[in-house]
Amino acid sequence: MRVAGRLAADVLDMIGDYVKPGVTTDELDRICHEYITDVQKAVPAPLNYRGFPKSICTSVNHVVCHGIPGERKLKSGDAVNIDITVIKDGFHGDTSRMFFVAAAGIQAQRLAEVAFEGMWLGIEQLAPGRHLGDVGAAIQRHVEKNRCSIVREYCGHGIGRVFHEDPQVLHYGSAGTGMELKSGMTLTIEPMVNAGKPAVKLLPDGWTVVTKDHSLSAQWEHTVLVTDAGYEVLTLGADAR
């Protein structure tokens, strides 16, 4: 899991230089695919997963998650979440990060900061004897305090030899409730935060999720190991974020 997590983070470190005005999300997918398969000698988990047609997810502006790379050209001011999952030696590393194309809009930058801070507040709750509800409560409290909203329909998850497995990791909830955490668990913490209302809808492609009110959305994700001492983030990038 440590190896897979490091490789996933490496992909995000690599792709940042290519997120520029005029690049298509399909080009970003191609670059990441070739890096994962040719350089890392690993497997991009999303490709053909339940029919998903690409190797990464690219979610731009009001797209909440699972955006399919295509012919859309990024333009200055766009905010894009790039979600990477790498399989190495049978184990999965899953992480995502927000990128801004050229100049970041003030609202988009603030929203990304709220989502990033919320993710870390959730991660900091992880320790043996704590509960999944502690994670969700910490994230929800921070996000709503900043007048943003948490997406309810999509959540974090257990991960290991399987891409998505139990438990579900909700990004809202009540402290002291839910499954008790134990050392050795590996989970993703990945709050999806909207600038407007929390309601979302699924587009006809069966994958792309957008905000119903067309407000901006932001997300960050890490794969995290619960340890005897607390937690270890397995998908830290070169800047340790």
What DSSP string describes the chain? Answer: -HHHHHHHHHHHHHHGGG--TT-BHHHHHHHHHHIIIIIS--EETTTTGGG--SSSEEEETTEEE-PPP-SPBP-TT-EEEEEEEEEETTEEEEEEEEEESSSPPHHHHHHHHHHHHHHHHHHTT-STT-BHHHHHHHHHHHHHHTT-EE-SS--EEE-SSSSSEEEEE-SS--TT-SPBP-TT-EEEE--EEESS-S-EEE-TTSS-EEETT---EEE-BEEEEEETTEEEES---TT--
Reported as a pLDDT band with limits 50, 70 and 90, residue 241 is: confident
Q: What is the pLDDT of residues 58-85, one digit of tens each?
A: 999 999 999 999 999 999 999 999 999 9
Residue range 202-229: average pLDDT? 98
pLDDT at 75: 96
What kind of fold does domain 2-233 have according to CATH? Answer: Creatine Amidinohydrolase (3.90.230)
Centre a 10 Å sphere on the Cβ of residue 233 and count the other Cβ atoms it contains.
18
Average pLDDT of span 7-20? 98
- pLDDT at position 33 is 98
Amino acid residing at 237: G
The pLDDT value recorded for residue 103 is 83
Check residue 41 and give its pLDDT: 98
Predicted confidence (pLDDT) at residue 111 exceeds the cutoff of 90: yes
Using pLDDT thresholds of 50, 70 and 90, give the confidence band for residue 21. very high
pLDDT given at position 49: 97
Round the average pLDDT of the chain to a whole number and report it: 97
Question: pLDDT by residue (tens digit) across 113-167?
Answer: 999 999 999 999 999 999 999 999 999 999 999 999 999 999 999 999 999 999 9
User: In the structure, what pLDDT confidence band is assigned to residue 104 with cuts at 50, 70 and 90?
Assistant: confident
Rounded-to-10 torsion of CA 97, 95, 33, 91 = 170
Q: Taking residues 171-192, report their average pLDDT.
A: 97
